[in-house]
Amino acid sequence: MDKKIILFSFLIISAFLLTGFACALEETEIVIESDSDWISAGGGSATISVSLLNSSCTITNVEFRCTESEKFGDVSQKTVSSSPFITYFSSTVSGTANIEAIVSYNDSEGNTGTITKNINQKIDHTVPHEILSVNYLNEVTVNENTPVTVIMADRYGNLIDSRYEEEDSISPEFIEMYSSPQDALFFDGADYTLNYTKVYVNSSGAASALLRVSKVPGNNEISLYPPNGIEPQYRTIMGLGNAWPFSIIASVSPNNGQTPYLPADEESKFYINYYLFDQYGNPAGNRTIHIESSNVNDADFYRTSNMDNGVVSISYGPTSQKSVITLVAYSVDNESVYVEQRIMFDSTEPVDMILTANPEVMPSYDVSSDRTSAVRAKVIDERGNPVANETVSFSIVDGSYPSYSTSSPSLSEPSALTNEDGYAVIDFIPGSFIYDTNDPLYELQASANCTVRAVWENMEGVSTERDIILEWKNFPYLSVESEVTPETVSVNDTVDVTVRLIGDGWALQPDPIDVVLSADRSGSMLKDYPDRMVVVMDAMKEFTSSMSEKRDRIGLTTFGNKGWSDIWNYGMFYWAGYDGYSRYISKEDITYISQNYPNNGTDYSDYATLDIGLTPDYSNVYDTISGIVPMQGTPMRGGIYLALKELIENGKEDAVRAVVVLSDGDYNYYGDPLARGSGFTSYPSDFGDLTKNYYRFSDLSYDNQNLAKYAKSKNIKIYSIAFGNDLSYEGRRTLRLLAEESEGEFFDDVDSSNINDVYREIAGDLKTEAGVNTQMNLDFTNVELNNITVPNTQFEPVLEYVYANDRSTVISKWNRTEIVIPRYTVDDRDEWSANRSLDFDVGTVRLGETWETTFRLRALKDGNINIFGPGSTIKFNNGTDELSLPKTFITAVHNQTSTGIDFKDLSISDLRSTNTATVTDALDLKWNINYTGEYSAEQNVYYLRQGDDVWILFETMSPVFGPVEEKEQSAVFVVKDMPPGTYSIRVHAKSPDTADAISEIDSCLKIGDSEVSYIKIE
C-alpha cells in the first residue's frame, strides 16, 4: 500500500479518537450530594445538589425524584434546568429515602447525554411522643423470667430506634422501668439484681429488659417512665404458683394415731390431702403426682394439683376387711419428691359399755313430779367409737326405801336401742316420801337410793353389766343438771357444755301460809253492778287459787246480819243487780240473785261468823265463798276477832299468819276494833257507827282488846282493804291503823277495777322467799379419758376452753315468770390459762329459779372424755353442803368428712363461638363441662385484651353440681362498646375435689367500615 495512504488513514483515526475522548462525560464526574446525612422526621429539609467535575461539559437539566415517594414523600423541585441544580427533601417518615437525579448534559462539540445518579437520605425519628406497645407474658411461673419490651413512637408514628445514635456513637433514647415487689428483679447483664433499670432502644425500635418475677405468687407490678414527658404506664404480671414441686406433705383425716385408723364397716373412708410446695414454700399448683398403693388390688393413678392451693385430694375406702395400707405419692416432675402414708382399717365390733345418769341426785317425786333422771348406757368399740343399734336392758336391782317412802322408783322402759351416738336412754322416775308435815312419819330430810343396772350382750352372747346408784331426796336446796352438744365430736372441734342449778328443794320452799279472809257482808255490799259482794267473792277465789293447796291453808269469817238473811225481804233488795229503786222485785233481780247468791236465805248464827276454818281443801273454800249472803250491819270487830281466834288456836307455828279484812262501810256492831273507848259486855248490836267503845271479849286481856295489838303479839299481820266510796274518813283511818299497828298493809281507793290486783299483791307479800348462796368450781386439771384419769395440761391438752362472744361463757338466770339475770358473756381465757379451771360465783338461787351457764370446749384427744374432772364441785349453804356433777361424756373421733374425693375429674371442652357471621353487638359462647365430683364446680369467664395486664371477669356462671357429663354451658360477651384490639376468651372452672380446668380461645376485635366494633372467631 502506498505509504501516503497509510499515513493519511492513521491521522484520520487519531483525530477521531482524540476528539471522542475529549467530549465524553464519565458517571464519576457527576456528583450528587446532601448537605445533611440525617434529617429528622417533620424537621428541616436536606438540600440535594448535583454538580460536574468535568468542565468541558455542561448540565442542561436535572430531574429529581424520591424513588419511594408513596412512603416518604417527594422532593420539592422535580425539574431543575439551570444552575444551581438543587432540590429540597423532607419527610415525616423515618428510614432511608432514595433520591434519584437524572442528569442531562452537552459536551463541547454540542453532543448531548444523560446519566442517572442516586443518593440515600437518612431520616431519623423525631422526639418520642407515645408508647406504642408493651409486650410481655402476663402470666409467669414464680421466679421465672419474661422479656418486657417497650416500643415507642414519635408523633408521626415512627419507631424510636437507635440507628442515628449508633452511627454517631452516642446514647439513644431510653425508658426507665421499676418493679415490685422487692424480689421482682431486672437482669443487670450478669444476674437479676435490679428493681430499677434504664433500657435503651435498639436499632429496630425495641427497649427490652428481662424481668424475673417474685418467688411469691401474685401480682408483679411494672412502672414504665418514658422520656419527653410522656405519661407513665403501669403493667401487671401474674406470678403463678405452678413451679415444680420441691416437697410434698400428706394430711390424713381422721388422723387418730401414728397409723390412722377407721372401722372396716363398708362405709368409712379416709380422706387424704397431698400438699405440694415449690422450693420457695409456695403451693405448687397444676402439677401431677403419681400414687401407688401397697394393696395389690389397687391400680396406680395420677392426679393434678389444684391451681389455687397445690392440693391433690383423694379418698381411700371403704372396706370390710381389716388391713394396713401404704400409699406412696411421687411428683411426676421430680420423683425424688415423694411421701409415704400408712392407714389402717380396724374392727367395728362393740366391746364395752359405759353407764351414766343425769342427774345422779334428784328431787323426790313428791317434791317435783316432772323431774326425772336420764339413764344413759353407751356401747363402744375397741377404739371408743359409739356403736348404734345395740340393745341394752335396764332394771332396778337394789334399793333402800325407808319407812317414810310412799312410792318406789321405776323405769320408763325395760330396754332401749343405742342411737348414732352409741347411747341407749331411758328415764328413771324417783320414789316419793310422806308430804304431810303433821304425819308422825314425816321426815324433814328424807333420802333414798337404789341401783340401776344396764346389761348389754355382745355377738358371742357375753354380757356386760354396769351399775349406777341413783338417789332422791325431798331436797334441802339445789339439784344440778348437765348436758353437752354435740355428744360425738371430731377431734379439734368444739362442744358446748351446759350446767344448770335448779332451786327446787324444800329448804327453798316458801313458809306455809295460814290466812283467814274476813269479808264484810253488810247490805251495802249489794251496791253497784256487778254487786260489790260478787266482785269481792271472785277476788277472794282468785286469791285462794294463787296459794299452794298442799302447803297453804285458807279460812273465812264474814260479818253482817245475824239470823235469816233473805235478800227478797231486805228493804234494799233493789240494790241487788242494777241499783235503780223499785217497790217490787223484778224478774231480772230474781235471776241475778239466784245466779250470784245461791245460798240466799242463810240463817247466820251471829253477826260475825267463822264460815270455814283453816283448810287446805280449796274446793270447800270456793263453795263457802260462793255461799255468802250480804244484808245489813258492819260488825267488823267481831269478824276480825274470830279470824284471829282461828289462827291462834288452829294455825301452824311455822306458818306465815295473816288476816285479810275487807269492808265497804264504817264499822258498827261490836264497836271499835282498836278498842279506843270503854269496853262493855252488852249486846253487840248496842254499838253504833264509828263508836270508840267496844264489846269486850272475855278471853282477851285489856291490852289485847285492841285487835291490831293482839294480832301483832301473836305474829299475825292484818291486811285491810277499804272497798268502794261509802267509808268515811274515820272509817278509812280505822282500817289503816289496823294494818299499821299489826305491821300489815292498808289498801285504799279499791273498787271492782283493782280489787283482784290488791288480793294478788297481798298473796305475793305473804309468800316468803328463801335462797341459798352457791359457788361452782369446775376443775379441768385432770379429766377422765377412756376410763383413765389423765392430766389436762397446756402441753398435752385433752380439753381446751374456747371463748366466743354470746356463746362462751354465757350466764343467765330465770324463774317461771321472768328473767332474773339477762344472758351475758364472760371471757374466761385468763382463768383457764392460769388454773385450767372455771369458777362461778353463782350467788343466791331461790325457789323456782334456774341458773345456767354454757361454755365451749375443744376436744384435742380422741376417745370417751368425762368432761368434769374429779375436783369439780358445787358448794352451797355457806359451804356446808356440796353437790357433785354428774358424769358427762363426749366421744371425740377424728374428722370423717373432707372435700377430697378420689378419682374425681373436672374438664372444659369444645369452647366455641356459635356466631356464624360477623358479630356487631355480642359474642355467643358455648362449651361443655365434665365433672365427676360430688360437690359443685364454679366457672368464671374472662376476656383479655392484648396490651392489657390481667384477665377481666365478665361472667360468673351458676354452680354446676356433680356429677355431670358433657353439660352444655353458655355465656354472652357484649362487645359493641369494647375498644378495638386483639382479645382472648378464657373459661376457668374449679371445684373442691379436683384440679382446676382452664380452656381458652383467641379472637380478633376489628373496626369495620361502619366503625362498629365486632369480634370474629377464627
Looking at the fold, whether 673 and 542 belong to one and the same domain comes out as yes
Give 883 or 178, the one with higher predicted confidence. Answer: 178
Residues 625 and 740 in one domain: yes
Q: What is the DSSP string of 387-425?
A: --S-EEEEEEEEEE--TTEEE--EES-SEEE--TTSEEE
pLDDT digits (tens, 9 = 90+) for 818-873: 888 999 999 999 999 998 999 999 988 887 889 999 999 999 988 889 888 788 88
Confidence at residue 602, expressed as pLDDT on a 0 to 100 scale: 93
Q: Please write the tens of the pLDDT for every residue from 646-673.
A: 999 999 888 899 999 999 999 999 999 9
Q: Is the pLDDT of residue 902 over 70?
A: no
User: Domain of 55: which CATH number?
Assistant: 2.60.40.1080
As a whole-number percent, the residues of the chain with pLDDT over 90 amount to: 55
Closest CA to 946 of 141, 138, 232: 138
The sign of the dihedral angle between the CA atoms of 167, 170, 174, 178 is positive
Total count of domains within the chain? 7
Average pLDDT over residues 59-77: 95
Task: Sort 514 into a burial class: Cβ within 10 Å, 0-12 / 13-18 / 19+.
Answer: buried
Q: Residue 918: which pLDDT band, with cuts at 50, 70 and 90?
A: low
The helix/strand/coil state of 78 is coil
Q: CATH number, domain at 153? A: 2.60.40.10
CA-based radius of gyration for the chain = 56
Are 206 and 191 within 8 A, CB to CB?
no
User: Domain of 868: which CATH number?
Assistant: 2.60.40
CA 563, 568, 573, 579 torsion-angle sign: positive
Do 431 and 526 belong together in one domain? no
Domain of 455, in residue numbers? 356-475
The answer to whether residues 749 and 849 belong to one domain is: no
CA–CA separation, 537 and 980 (whole Å): 95
Report DSSP letters for 93-154, one per residue.
S-EEEEEEEEEEEE-TTS-EEEEEEEEEEEEE--S--EEEEEE--SEEETT-EEEEEEEEE-
Q: What is the DSSP letter of 44?
A: P
Q: Which residue has the higher pLDDT, 174 or 574?
A: 174
52 plus 168 within the same structural domain: no
pLDDT at residue 508, rounded to an integer: 67
Average pLDDT of every residue of the chain: 87
State the pLDDT at residue 981: 73
Model confidence at 114, in pLDDT bands (50, 70, 90)? very high
Mean pLDDT for the stretch of residues 36-50:
95
> What span, in angstroms and rounded, lies between the C-alpha atoms of 978 and 141?
30
744 — pLDDT class (breaks 50, 70, 90): very high
- Going by C-alpha positions, the residue among 583, 592, 581 that lies closest to residue 533 is 592
From the list 123, 216, 104, 209, the residue with the least C-alpha distance to 161 is 123
Q: Are residues 194 and 258 in the same domain?
A: no
Contact between 347 and 458 (Cβ < 8 Å)? no
Chain centroid to Cα 1017, Å, comes to 46
Q: What is the mean pLDDT of residues 986-992?
A: 88
* Omega before 963 within 30 of 0, i.e. cis: yes
Tens digit of each residue's pLDDT (9 = 90 or more) over 254-296? 887 788 888 887 888 898 989 999 999 899 988 999 999 888 7
Stretch 926-948: mean pLDDT: 86
Q: Average pLDDT for residues 607-612, to the nearest whole number?
A: 96
Residue-wise pLDDT tens digits, 445-480: 788 999 999 999 998 889 999 999 999 888 667 888
Segment of 538-542, 896-900, 916-920 carrying the highest mean pLDDT: 538-542
1: confidence class by pLDDT, cuts 50, 70, 90:
very low
Does 499 map to a domain? no
What confidence category does residue 800 fall into, taking pLDDT thresholds of 50, 70 and 90? very high
- Domain final residue, candidates 766, 799, 833: 766
* Residue 584 falls inside a structural domain: no
Q: What pLDDT, in 10s, does the model give residues 265-275?
A: 788 889 898 99
Task: Find the angle CA(373)-CA(379)-CA(382) to the nearest 5 degrees.
Answer: 145
Residue 181: asked if its preceding bond is cis (omega within 30°), the reply is yes
Q: Is the peptide bond before 84 cis (omega within 30 degrees of 0)?
A: yes
| d(C-alpha 843, C-alpha 820), whole Å | 12
CB atoms within 10 A of CB 27: 9
Q: Does 253 lie in the same domain as 233? A: no
Dihedral over Cα of 178, 182, 186, 190: its sign: positive
Q: What is the DSSP string of 316-384?
A: E---SS-EEEEEEEEESS-TT-EEEEEEEEE---EEEEEEEEE-SEEE-TTT-TT--EEEEEEEEETTS
Q: Is the predicted pLDDT of residue 431 greater than 90, yes or no?
A: yes
Q: What is the pLDDT of residue 609?
A: 96
Helix (H) or strand (E) run with residue 167 in it: helix 163-168
Cell of residue 582, nine digits? 223499785
**By percentage, how much of the chain surpasses pLDDT 70?**
93
Point out the domain boundary residue: 84, 100, 124.
124
| Statement to judge: residues 739 and 814 lie in one domain | no
> Looking at the predicted structure, is the pLDDT value of residue 14 above 80?
no
H-run or E-run covering 794: none
Task: Inform me whether the pLDDT recorded for 308 exceeds 80.
Answer: no
pLDDT at 859: 92
Cα 226 to Cα 131, 482, 998: the distances in Å are 8, 74, 36
What does the pLDDT read at residue 798?
A: 92
- Residue where one domain finishes, among candidates 766, 796, 814: 766
Q: What gap in Å lies between CA 584 and CA 487, rounded to an integer?
A: 79
Is there a contact between 562 and 516 (Cβ–Cβ < 8 Å)?
Answer: no
Identify the burial level of 824 via C-beta atoms within 10 angstroms of its C-beta, where 0-12 means exposed, 13-18 middle and 19 or more buried.
exposed
- Is 748 inside a domain boundary? yes
How would residue 1016 be classed by pLDDT, with cut points 50, 70 and 90?
A: very low
Q: Is residue 961 part of a domain?
A: yes
- C-alpha 443/C-alpha 435 separation (Å) is 9
Tell me the CATH number at 694: 3.40.50.410
In a domain, 581, yes or no: no
| CA 628 to each of CA 254, 505, 538, 880: distance values in angstroms, whole numbers, following the listed order | 79, 39, 12, 52
The mean pLDDT value for 573-601 works out to: 79
pLDDT tier at 1013, thresholds 50, 70, 90? very low
Angle at 83 between CA 78 and CA 84, to 5 degrees: 75
With a cut of 80, say whether residue 2 has pLDDT above it.
no
Cell digits of residue 600: 240466799
- CA 65-66-72 angle, 5° bins: 145
Ranking 110-114, 348-352, 622-626 by mean pLDDT, the lowest is: 348-352
Higher pLDDT, 860 or 950: 860
Question: Which pLDDT score, from 0 to 100, does residue 894 have?
Answer: 61
Both 690 and 707 in one domain: the answer is yes
pLDDT for res 10 = 42
Write out pLDDT tens, residues 830-843.
Answer: 999 998 999 999 98
Look up residue 817 and give its amino acid.
Answer: T
Is 500 among the domain residues? no
What is the mean predicted confidence (pLDDT) over 674-695? 92
pLDDT, one tens digit per residue, over 87-96 is 999 999 999 9
CA distances from 290 to 274, 326, 327, 340, 875 (A): 11, 14, 10, 12, 62
Q: With a cut of 60, say whether residue 900 has pLDDT above it.
A: no
- Does 63 score more than 90 pLDDT? yes
Most confident of the following: 158-172, 353-367, 579-593, 766-780: 158-172
Please return the burial class of 891, using the count of CB atoms within 10 Å of its CB with bins 0-12, 13-18 and 19+.
Answer: buried
- Collapsing DSSP to helix, strand or coil, 526 comes out as helix
Provide the pLDDT for residue 346.
80
Residues 929 and 1008 occupy one common structural domain: yes
Q: What is the pLDDT of residue 5?
A: 45
Q: Is residue 503 part of a domain?
A: no
Measured between alpha carbons, how far is 408 from 156 in angstroms, rounded to an integer?
Answer: 110
What is the biggest distance separating any 2 CA atoms in the chain, rounded to whole angstroms? 217
pLDDT value, residue 506: 64
Residue 532: strand, helix, or coil: helix
Better pLDDT: 951 or 707: 707
Residue 50 lies in a domain: yes
- 137 and 186, same domain (yes or no): yes
Asked if 633 and 738 sit in the same domain, the reply is: yes
Whole-structure pTM over 0.85, yes or no? no
